[in-house]
Amino acid sequence: MKISYQNQKEEIIEVIPETLDDLWHLSHIVRKGDFVTSKTTRRIQDTSGDKIRSDRGVKKTFTLEVQVESVSFHMFTGKLRLTGSITKGPEDLIPLGSHHTIEVKFNIPLKIRKEQWSKWDTQRLQQAVKASKKLSAIIVLIEEDTVTFGLIRQFGIEYYGPVYGNISGKRIVNKNRNKEIIDFYQDIVKTIYKYKDIQSIVIAGPGFAKNDLFKFLQDNYKDLAKKSIVESTGSGGRVGIQEVLKKGTVEKLTTENRIAFEMKDINDLLKLLSKNSDIVVYGINQTKNAINMGAVKKLMVLDVYMKDENIEKLMNLTENMGGDVTIISSEHDGGKQLDALGGMAAILRYPIS
């Protein structure tokens, strides 16, 4: 994410999204009632009076300002749509007040005007800008002839695979088996190289294939081997990738990776809950009570609750009283677990009941 223009007096910030992570951040920054301006495409009908009934009009590109009524982000299609009524545009072609959806595009400026930018929205924007300068991590979960990739993004895990290798069984006499294995490893390397910004690679799995792959990298792709560590898991596939996350392996490699920290906080919370600890509260009412008493050491809030001004006030109060606040993404398993607890939870300095 880049900030291309900023006017604090008018509460305007113009950004240029560059990655899927940026769209995810913007889906939580832009709120109902905000004004957004961007280049967008709209179908214009012929108003000359002699148009054919089947004529659906012509698509034209304009710069429009829309007052947002709804925000829709689809992780799997990578689309962010901002829908609302048009407040500025070419009035001779488009009636003001009519509805329009701006689909936010990579490398196209998006101007956001708010009544007031909150501290949390500004922090999130700065986090996106900072993260755009950093590299991601990838988990390569390999079994004998199967590999699943977990690309760690700020919103959660993006899975790729499983990919299968054409490898003969060990009991089958086949002179080409070693070549089949090498071809499989070469395919894995090609996939890793697709992500040019990868800084850290975790090669994991339940068997010996992970060690063989790492040795292959050491012998043939030293640049990748230097970025890699090997981790054992009890399972393969996506379950194995989740094991790696829970172990905190990624956190050790990329200490500023947001999802790893979030998973660690959620796991700490769940461990205390499993012990029936009296220094844990969850749910909005219980957590709000603990915040008002100044007892919160660590507050965890699901990102979808950030659009509630009352929740922001509780977050500010927590920080003012010396507590830490972590915003948890709703797109990964840790977020789903927090959602099941009411979307808000806290670890306390001391019991309050």
pLDDT of the chain, 353 residues: tens digit per residue: 899 999 999 999 999 998 777 888 899 899 999 999 999 988 877 655 555 544 567 888 889 999 999 999 886 677 899 999 999 988 778 889 999 999 999 889 999 999 999 888 998 898 888 776 665 689 999 998 899 999 887 667 888 889 998 877 665 556 677 888 899 999 999 999 988 768 789 999 999 999 999 999 999 999 999 989 999 999 999 999 999 988 877 766 654 456 777 888 999 999 999 998 999 999 999 999 999 999 999 999 998 887 787 898 899 899 989 999 998 988 788 999 999 999 999 999 999 87
How much is the pTM?
0.61
Is residue 161 left, alpha or beta, with left meaning phi > 0 and alpha meaning psi from -120 to 50? left
Structure confidence at residue 256 (pLDDT): 46
Which domains are present in the chain? 2-116 (2.30.30.870), 136-253 (3.30.420.60), 261-348 (3.30.1330.30)
- Give residues with Cβ within 8 angstroms of 336, minimum separation 6: 330
| SS3 at position 314 | helix
Length of the chain as a residue count: 353
Structure confidence at residue 133 (pLDDT): 63
Structure confidence at residue 177 (pLDDT): 79
- With beta carbons less than 8 A apart as the criterion, state whether 114 and 31 touch: yes
Rounded Cα gap, residues 251 and 248, in angstroms: 5
The DSSP string of 220-259 is: H-HHHHHTEEEEE-SS-HHHHHHHHHHHTHHHHHSTT-HH
Structure confidence at residue 308 (pLDDT): 80
Structure confidence at residue 176 (pLDDT): 77
Phi, psi dihedrals of residue 198, rounded to the nearest 5°: -70, 125
Structure confidence at residue 288 (pLDDT): 95
How many C-beta neighbours within 10 Å does residue 162 have? 16
